[in-house]
């Protein structure tokens, strides 16, 4: 169930064909990707089961998407974050055998300078949640 929800979020992000197309990475940025030349969003997923058991009705599921919008400048990171927001906020994705609620933005942080990669980039973090129940 986790991956089905994650793939639904990734599909929404990848549907942004730009121009240029939104570069989406699931959990890892491939070697050789230069955010100065090609800004991207790096997404990490986590799940939560608010009810204590699957027998509780309805069985609600939550998927959290932590989106790192990365660019060469703070403005580039904000522009990626805006595209992510447009792709996800208030959208009801399709997940087989589930009824999804509109995606909500839970929190975020402004762009921050990151020099760990050897070159300066800016990273803006936004957290979105997708909730669903059995259909």
Domain span at residue 130 reads 2-134
Report how many domains make up the chain: 1
Alpha carbons within 13 angstroms on the beta-carbon side of residue 1 total: 18
What is the predicted pLDDT for the residue at 19?
Answer: 84
Q: Are 106 and 128 in contact (CB under 8 A)?
A: yes
CB burial of 63-81 (b: ≥16 within 10 Å; e: otherwise) equals bbbbbbbbbbbeebbbebb
Q: What is the pLDDT along the chain (135 residues), one digit of tens a residue?
A: 899 999 999 999 999 988 888 999 999 999 888 887 889 999 999 998 766 566 666 688 999 999 999 999 999 999 999 999 999 999 999 999 999 999 999 999 999 998 876 778 999 999 999 999 999
Question: What's the DSSP call for residue 53?
Answer: S
The enclosing domain of 104 has a CATH number of 3.30.2000.30
Residues, the chain: 135
């Amino acid at each position: 169930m986790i991956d089905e929800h994650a793939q639904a979020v990734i599909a929404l992000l990848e549907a942004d064909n730009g121009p240029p197309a939104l570069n989406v990475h699931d959990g890892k940025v491939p070697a050789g990707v230069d955010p100065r030349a090609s800004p991207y969003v790096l997404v990490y997923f986590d799940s939560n089961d608010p009810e204590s058991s699957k027998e509780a009705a309805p069985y609600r599921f939550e998927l959290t998407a932590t989106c790192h919008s990365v660019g060469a400048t703070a403005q580039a990171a904000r522009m990626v974050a805006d595209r992510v927001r447009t792709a996800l906020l208030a959208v009801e994705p399709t997940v087989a055998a589930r009824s999804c609620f509109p995606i909500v933005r839970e929190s975020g942080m402004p762009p921050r300078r990151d020099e760990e990669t050897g070159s300066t980039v800016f990273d803006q973090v936004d957290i979105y949640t997708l909730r669903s129940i059995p259909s």
